[in-house]
Structure 1
Amino acid sequence: MKGHTVGRNRSGRWFVLGLAGAGLLALSGCSSETAEQWTRWGLPEAASDRAPFIGNLWSGAWIASMVVGVFVWGLIGWVIIRYRRKHADEAPRQSRYNLPLELLYTLVPFLIIGVLFFFTVQAQNGVLRKEANPDHTVNVVGQKWSWTFNYMEADNPAVGAIVHEKGTPTEIPDLYLPVDRSVRFNLVSADVIHSFWIPDFYFKLDVIPGHPNSFDVTPTKLGDFTGRCAELCGTYHAAMIFNVHVVTEEEFVAKVNELKADPQNIGEITAPVYPNTVPTVPATQEHGS
């Protein structure tokens, strides 16, 4: 029996060492970009001025979860060792209740929820803060199953018109935004609930039929990004993606004027006010009347 026990201990030791080696090998194979992403707890590099609110909340939640987890695992290990049975015929002392312990595990969860709620409200207020006079406005229409972007540039002397780009499930639309310029997005739906999401902006907002939503954001990083629908909205939900191009102000104006050159792109495409209104149904008559 002793030989079998020693063999099992050695096997367990080699198993743990193997796991550790595999973990180190996996980490060593990560690119510097992936390793840097781990420092953000999996989030992409921030590309908007509202991202720090969500990023700080995300990081804080992970740190708090790990602290609570380590504390609970420590308590479990301490109880296992401290109150283990020392003799075969000996049972641990039984207690009907422990008032301090019961108060602890009742109050601590409420404390954790309260702290998380406080910081969540702070992050929400920061993300949804509106600019007094945004530099640009884009009216977004979510439809089955793509997006329409209306550039509201009629008051912009460099453009002087409202132009739009409409996508289809087979043609991915492009959204152009100027870097370091505030943009107000007004969101409406033409049919069902969608969700406007640019992951690198750390923000998304539901697009609800008959209930317009809006938010302001300032892109802070030049580059190309991917936008998605974050709400399971139907058969071709996966096709509701769009390309986001954050460019300079000059390039933005040039692109909008390029759209303006085609008369078919001039004007705003709007969604019905009540796209899912149920028709009035006459009251059911009594049987036999």
Structure 2
Amino acid sequence: MVGALVLSILIYGLIRFRRRDPQEVPRQVRYNLPLEFVYTLVPIVIVCTLFFYTVKTQNLVQAKADSTKVHQIDVVGFKWSWAFNYMEEKNPAVGANVNAIGTIESPPTLVLPVNEPVRFNLYSPDVIHSFWVPAFYYKLDVIPGRSNSFDVTPTKVGTYAGKCAELCGTYHSAMIFNVNIVPVEQYNAYLKGLQAQGRTGTFYGPLQANPQLQKKEGN
């Protein structure tokens, strides 16, 4: 719409004010203070307005929930998969930190409780990745040496796709995962299942998760 409007104005100006006489010289105007003031002020007002609403929306999107009521999940992006550390040691229904670790051949599944706030703390031991679940309408870079975080409250039960949104190397396309949003009772049962499998503790490095990685990387 904006492009069509601008193009229409340009075409109108080209036709309406075209030179009709080869000897015609346009009227020369050195300056026009009122006009210059207007076309300086208007862009400033537009930019300031956009900046205000951008900051307002950004603060709303990045607002953090009460840390005592949020489920903490440490997400580790590594070449070439994901690990999800569920920091539920203080959750009486679970009682331990547990993890789910993916590989190139077996992408992991991220399980989340519906209608409860979740905080993702993002880590990378190697290169920059980007944690993206399109259904969340939000993504955030996973940067080595820096912890990024954001909060989400899932509101709809279902299965969704997630992926790395940063070109990170040879097997970037393999960095996919699934997201299952389930009732909180099912979420707690899933974590208890991980605990029963011995998947307790946390994981922040790739070679533990994927023994084949050493061979693939030639290390």
2:153 aligned with 1:221, yes or no? no
1:180 to 84, 91, 115: 115
* 1:73-92 pair list within 5 angstroms: 73-85=7-19, 87=20, 89=22, 91=24
Matched residue, 1:201: 136
Q: 1:251 to 1:91 in 2, by over 3 A?
A: farther
Residue in structure 2 matched with residue 253 of structure 1 by the alignment: 188
1:116: Cα distance to partner? 1.9
Shift of 1:219: 0.6
- Give the Cα separation in 2 of the matches to 1:170 and 1:97: 70
2:97 match: secondary structure:
strand
Question: Structure 1 97/220 Cα, relative in aligned 2: closer, same or farther at 3 Å?
Answer: farther
Aligned to 1:143: 78
Separation (CA, whole Å) in 2 of partners of 1:220 and 1:182: 10
Provide the C-alpha distance between the structure 2 equivalents of 1:110 and 1:170, rounded to a whole number of angstroms.
53
CA displacement at 1:215 relative to structure 2:
1.3
- Structure 2 length normalisation: TM-score? 0.83
The letter of the residue matching 2:172 is: H
Q: How many angstroms apart in 2 are the aligned matches of 1:89 and 1:110?
A: 39
Q: Contact 1:195 / 1:205 at 8 angstroms: preserved in 2? A: yes
Residues 107, 154 of structure 1: alpha-carbon distance in 2 compared, 3 angstrom cutoff: same
2:42 to 108, 116, 129: 108
- 1:74 deviates by 3.9
Q: Distance in 2 between matches of 1:238 and 1:103?
A: 52
Residue 191 of structure 1 is matched in structure 2 by 126
Note the residue ranges of structure 1 that are not aligned, 5 or more in a row.
1-65, 273-289
The equivalences for 1:45-56 within 5 A come to: none
| CA–CA distance in structure 1, aligned partners of residues 48 and 187 of structure 2 | 44
For 1:271 and 1:109, the matched residues in 2 are separated by 49
1:118 is aligned to 2:52: yes
1:210 to 132, 145, 152: 145
Superposition deviation, residue 150 in structure 1: 0.7
In 1, the alpha carbon distance for the partners of 2:111 and 2:87 equals 13
Shift of 1:78: 3.1
1:269 to 194, 198, 203: 203
**From 224, 243, 247, the counterpart of 2:178:** 243
Alpha-carbon spacing, 1:260–1:174, altered in 2? closer, same or farther (3 Å): same
TM-score norm. by structure 1 comes to 0.64
RMSD: 2.3
Q: Which secondary structure state, in structure 2, belongs to the residue aligned with residue 130 of structure 1? A: coil
Q: Mean Cα displacement is larger for which, 173-182 or 111-120?
A: 111-120
In 1, the alpha carbon distance for the partners of 2:53 and 2:148 equals 23
Q: Give the secondary structure class of the aligned counterpart of 1:196.
A: strand
Alpha-carbon shift at residue 92 of structure 1 (Å): 6.1
**Identity rate of aligned residues, in percent?**
53
Number of the residue aligned with 1:283: none
CA contact (8 A) 1:135 1:183 kept: yes
Deviations along 1:11-53, whole A, 9 cap, x unmatched? xxxxxxxxxxxxxxxxxxxxxxxxxxxxxxxxxxxxxxxxxxx
What secondary structure does 1:231 align onto?
Answer: coil
**Structure 2, gaps ≥5 residues long:** 207-219
Higher percent of residues as strand: 2
Q: State the match for 1:129 in structure 2.
A: 63
